[in-house]
Amino acid sequence: ATHSPILAETKPLAGIKNTASERTFIAVKPDGVQRGLVGKIVSRFEERGYKLVAIKAVVPSRALAEEHYADLRARPFFRGLVEYMTNGKAPVVAMVWEGKDVVRQGRAMIGATNPLESSPGSIRGQYCVSVGRNIIHGSDSFESATKEIQLWFGKPGEVIDWEPANWVWTMA
């Protein structure tokens, strides 16, 4: 009831398409955590103007990692990928970020899957060289984001809605 008209328009409507605001699932993979890149990655999303609505460090179960990467089950690297995500040598830092076009912008900020093809200014393009150690995950579509947020942050209250004071300047 206290929202300004602009804030009312940008009010998060998770699960609804074509609204000004949307959410995506971003995860720093264990290699990114080991390398101390969590802060830099969080900063990039903050500085772009996005809102952090959930964050936790977690060693995912095998079941969670397999479900997360279910589309890749038939690929030759699948076992290695699940092992890399779940072996506990470092946690995954799982996050939900919110804001205008954050699903597509998040993918653009992260860069191509294979660091050989990711542009030098992207996160992967700046920090990694190997497709098997590409430090970060980001949902590739609105549908994937919805599924992944539910998978990683499915308990009530895990995603926290709040109103950034600067959104009248960044998201209008």
Binding residue ranges for ATP: 29, 77, 107, 113, 124, 134
SS3 54: strand
Site membership for ligand ADP, residue 81 (CB under 6 A):
yes
Rounded Cα gap, residues 62 and 72, in angstroms: 14
Q: How far is the CB of 80 from ligand ADP (least distance, A)?
A: 6
- β-pair partners for 57: 93
Rounded Cα gap, residues 95 and 8, in angstroms: 24
Site membership for ligand ADP, residue 137 (CB under 6 A):
yes
Q: How many residues does the chain have?
A: 172
Q: How far is the CB of 79 from ligand ADP (least distance, A)?
A: 10
Asked if residues 48 and 55 have their Cβ atoms less than 8 Å apart, the reply is no
**What would the x/- binding string for ligand ADP be over residues 93 to 132, using CB under 6 A?**
--------------------x-----------------xx
Using the minimum distance from each CB to ligand ADP, give the nearer residue, 67 or 163.
67
Q: Which of the residues are catalytic? A: 137
